[in-house]
Amino acid sequence: MFALAPSILAADFKNLGNGLEKIQKSGASYVHLDVMDGRFVPSISFGMPVIESIRSISNCVFDVHLMVEEPERYIDDFIACGGDSITIHAEATTHVSRAISQIKASGVKAGIALNPSTPLNVLDYILDQVDMVLIMTVNPGFGGQKYIDSSTRKITELRNLMNDCGLSTDIQVDGGITLDNVSTVIEAGANIIVAGSAVFQGDIEKNTKDFLRIMKNSILI
């Protein structure tokens, strides 16, 4: 399953409903929701009230990315306000397995995110527990950053590891993804693509359709 997950962090919040309508109309099936606490990352973004307010106007999968310290404190709240998938950072809690179990016990999908400098071996004892691994392709905390080239090798290594383990776990990429490099990450093994500025800056509908067209062509290669 391949999906585009536009990140609303780059959207115009004055017209957020309109932006969501455009990406859904143009074929996006996910909405990526970057929650930042000002501790795990320097920035503060938005929380439960925003997600709850837009839940009723979108049929997309609400893909909640918690860039927060001790995410287990908030997991239940983000599920209650509309999250369909909750991703936590391996670096943000000392009890990763317990937090993953907490997510899955609520009946939603569980993801684990890795910062660019975090090695894949932190997944050794939890890879079979998660539905998705998010490879950060920039350092988290700010939009508009440039893709870190070494991420491509990391994506490939993760996909090979999953294949060796007989797993079909989703690989999501987030950070610096554009129309120019989306083919690269798909060919490396990613199947859920987060894009922020490259979708929401300019013609949202055209950008979304262009991403989906390139993604489809990359899959067919």
Predicted confidence (pLDDT) per residue in 197-213, tens digit: 999 999 999 999 999 99
Q: Which domains does the chain have, with CATH numbers?
A: 3-220 (3.20.20.70)
Give pLDDT tens digits for 156-185: 999 999 999 999 999 999 999 999 999 999
Q: What pLDDT band is residue 38 in, cutting at 50, 70 and 90? A: very high
Q: What pLDDT band is residue 141 in, cutting at 50, 70 and 90? A: confident
Residue 148, number of CB atoms within 10 A of its CB: 17
Q: 63, 131, 174, 203: which one is catalytic?
A: 174
Distance CA 208, CA 140 (A): 23
DSSP strands (E only) in 115-202:
132-136, 170-174, 192-195
Give pLDDT tens digits for 97-107: 999 999 999 99
Q: The pTM is what?
A: 0.96
Q: Is position 197 annotated in a ligand binding site?
A: yes
Q: Is position 166 annotated in a ligand binding site?
A: no
DSSP summary character for residue 13: G
Q: What pLDDT band is residue 116 in, cutting at 50, 70 and 90? A: very high
Q: What is the pLDDT of residue 145?
A: 82
Distance CA 158, CA 133 (A): 9
Q: Is position 143 annotated in a ligand binding site?
A: yes
Q: What is the pLDDT of residue 221?
A: 55
Q: 34, 37, 131, 170: which one is catalytic?
A: 34
Distance CA 134, CA 115 (A): 9
Q: Is position 82 annotated in a ligand binding site?
A: no
Distance CA 125, CA 83 (A): 25
- Average pLDDT, rounded, for the chain: 96
Question: Does 174 participate in catalysis according to the annotation?
Answer: yes
Average pLDDT over residues 28-51: 96
Distance CA 64, CA 75 (A): 10
Q: Is position 34 annotated in a ligand binding site?
A: yes
Task: With beta carbons less than 8 A apart as the criterion, state whether 155 and 188 touch.
Answer: yes
Q: What is the pLDDT of residue 42?
A: 93
Q: Is position 89 annotated in a ligand binding site?
A: no
Q: What is the pLDDT of residue 142?
A: 73
Question: Does 203 participate in catalysis according to the annotation?
Answer: no
Quick check: 143 pLDDT over 80? no
